[in-house]
Structure 1
Amino acid sequence: MHLVKPFRLKKGDTVGVIAPASPPNLDNLERGIGFLQELGLKVMKGRNVSNIYGYLAGSDQERLEDLHEMFLDKKVKAVICACGGYGTGRIAANIDYEIIKNNPKIFWGYSDITFLHIAIRQETGLVTFHGPMLGSDIGKEDTHRLSKNGFLQLFQPTELSYTEQLSPLEVLVDGVATGELAGGNLSLLVSTLGTKFEIDTKGKLLFIEDINEEPRSVDRMLNQLYMAGKLEDASGILLGDFCDCTPKRSLSLTLDEVISHYIKLANKPALRGFQIGHCNPHITIPLGVNAMLNTAEKRLFIESSIM
């Protein structure tokens, strides 16, 4: 799929806010919107952002309508998700990807939004952004400045270099690997398998993170990725934050033992310890652009993601 970089933002631009998964905390969302306004942006909320339908932010049709409307609206220069949770996989098959292909713009989120990152990239070629969201991260009072600073890369082309100046990094397998950066939340990566949106990892740098999964669950999911050939197909592997992924029973492998087992089976250059995912700070990375992983330098280099 041809790579499509979205256009950069400038002060005065309008960005759209949608909730394609679960309902956001509305107080946090308003504070997050205030942050975007401090950056000089105008904000348009999707018509259905405040809706609640069980664990979903409105019906599938309502959430789908907000996504389509934001991509169709010529005034809107970026689409930013309010929060994750659950539900994006339910709407992926009904998205009109021609709308996105004909109106490429910044798309931002993480966690459950992983399913949309994969679907949009593989169906349209659009580069998207794995970054902290307004209602679940930016709107919280203790949000780290590095989480907020990630939005600055949307205003001018920026090459990113992640080294141990940001967080300690652990080499799991030595080597240098290059390729398109892909991935996201582990449970969502696994949920694409066997669907038309099954993640393609061939020759790519695969990024993985997760939250609230016991080591046995992480084991099951990594095993499925491994048996599906997704770990071996990757050129290299990046491990982000695994928040609260601790055993809840005495008889358990540790998370370290589980991760080490599958990364060594894959035998691809791998680094662990990236502050990317359900963590504070949460460093933003673009998905779909070319990157290089160098374990000797403990460095991830990512090319510019916008035009």
Structure 2
Amino acid sequence: MIKPCALKEGDRVAIIAPAGPPDREKLIEGKRVLEKMGLEVSIGRYVFDGEGDLAALDQKRVADLHEAFCDPSIRGIFCANGGFGSARIAPMIDYAKIQRNPKIFWGYSDITYLLNAIQNFSNLVTFHGPMIASDLHDEQRTVETESSFFELFTKEDLNFDSSKSPLIALAHGTGEGQLVGGNLTLLTNGLGTPFQINTDGNILLIEEVAEPAFRIDAMLTQLKQAGLFDNLEGLVIGTLQVEPDQYPKIKKVLQDLFAEAPFPVVENFPIGHCKPNYGVPLGVQAKLTTSPPRLMIESGVT
């Protein structure tokens, strides 16, 4: 996998909206946070175009993505927010162009589809992390979420243990492999397409928001029946942000599916639709252990 170059103070980065339309005020607040990190920030020309539930027409959203990757002055690309629509543009992307111009690409939620598509066809490490309009505006932002961006300025490896959140092992063991994954709905949507995630010999990360237990059950069952757990090295369960009454039901779903798993399964990582929301690189080597529960991840930048 190709690692993008680390950021440094003074670097220029771009904000694009490959999915839904961002809230202008929240995006501007998030932009200021990036600027406080010492970055020069530009906004894609079509980010505020507005096209119903999409940020802009498919062709315009792809144009912003291509322009950001091909502009040699831009060192990193941050997605404004999720929503839906990323899958629509995945077949329209010039992945060879991205491979020739590797740089940081950062987002989550609906952007999961593009994180995996870019890995599959550009061989580029991507980043599952908090987004500018969704997570960096004044009401949502936390010190921990903001500090997560500093992994892009350093080559230090990442280490998640119970000091960040109480991790719970559902199945024990040790697994090593590339960290892959993202939002559970988007991973399920990708099955049977050219953009399907590759889990063979890898550690899978999943996270979700506002899905009831029966939907979590159905999606995990679909992944299992599609063979995605057959050669898995480990399962990292991020935040499953649901209504309180759904937690015990989801706990039973996870126990039923993974209590006897032949690979380590650890839940409650502060990754995904949560506050704070920690960013992680995808496509790099990782190690998951359960005694104690711990996830070690290689740096995503060089």
Shift of 1:198: 0.9
Shift of 1:255: 0.8
- Tell me the TM-score normalized by structure 1: 0.96
The CA distance in 1 between the partners of 2:222 and 2:260, in whole Å, is 13
Using a 3 Å threshold, how does the CA distance of structure 1 residues 245 and 186 change in structure 2: closer, same or farther?
Answer: farther
- Correspondence 1:271 to 2:266: yes
Shift of 1:134: 0.5
Shift of 1:140: 3.3
Shift of 1:79: 0.6
Which of 163, 167, 170 is the aligned partner of 1:169?
Answer: 167
The CA distance in 2 between the partners of 1:145 and 1:29, in whole Å, is 17
Name the stretch that deviates more: 259-268 or 127-136. Answer: 259-268
Shift of 1:186: 0.1
- Correspondence 1:260 to 2:255: yes
Whichever residue aligns with residue 233 of structure 2, its letter is: S
Show the 5 A alignment for 1:89-104: 89-104=87-102
1:35 corresponds to: 33
Shift of 1:233: 2.4
- Tell me the TM-score normalized by structure 2: 0.97
Whichever residue aligns with residue 299 of structure 2, its letter is: S
Match of 2:229, SS?
A: helix
Show the 5 A alignment for 1:39-58: 39-58=37-56
| Superimposed CA distance per residue, residues 250-301 of structure 1 (whole angstroms, 9 cap, x where no aligned partner) | xx97011112222236432110010101000011111000000010121100
Show the 5 A alignment for 1:31-180: 31-180=29-178
1:283 corresponds to: 278
| Superimposed CA distance per residue, residues 119-147 of structure 1 (whole angstroms, 9 cap, x where no aligned partner) | 00111111111110010111132411110
2:222 corresponds to: 224
The CA distance in 2 between the partners of 1:231 and 1:261, in whole Å, is 14
- Correspondence 1:183 to 2:181: yes
- Matched-pair identity in %: 43
Whichever residue aligns with residue 299 of structure 1, its letter is: R
The CA distance in 2 between the partners of 1:152 and 1:63, in whole Å, is 27
Using a 3 Å threshold, how does the CA distance of structure 1 residues 165 and 88 change in structure 2: closer, same or farther?
Answer: same
Name the stretch that deviates more: 159-168 or 259-268. Answer: 259-268
Using a 3 Å threshold, how does the CA distance of structure 1 residues 247 and 219 change in structure 2: closer, same or farther?
Answer: farther
Name the stretch that deviates more: 230-239 or 60-69. Answer: 230-239
Q: Is the 8 A contact 1:238 1:271 kept in 2?
A: yes
2:232 corresponds to: 234
Shift of 1:222: 0.5
Shift of 1:73: 0.3
The CA distance in 2 between the partners of 1:86 and 1:44, in whole Å, is 23
Q: Is the 8 A contact 1:214 1:246 kept in 2?
A: no
Q: Is the 8 A contact 1:239 1:273 kept in 2?
A: yes
- Correspondence 1:302 to 2:300: no
Match of 2:92, SS?
A: coil
Q: CA RMSD in A?
A: 1.3
The CA distance in 1 between the partners of 2:287 and 2:88, in whole Å, is 33
| Superimposed CA distance per residue, residues 162-189 of structure 1 (whole angstroms, 9 cap, x where no aligned partner) | 0100000111000000000000000000
The CA distance in 1 between the partners of 2:145 and 2:126, in whole Å, is 17
1:293 corresponds to: 288
Whichever residue aligns with residue 167 of structure 2, its letter is: L
Name the stretch that deviates more: 34-43 or 264-273. Answer: 264-273
Gap regions ≥5 residues in structure 1: none
| Superimposed CA distance per residue, residues 98-121 of structure 1 (whole angstroms, 9 cap, x where no aligned partner) | 110000000000000100011001
Q: Which runs of 4+ in 1 moved over 6 A?
A: none
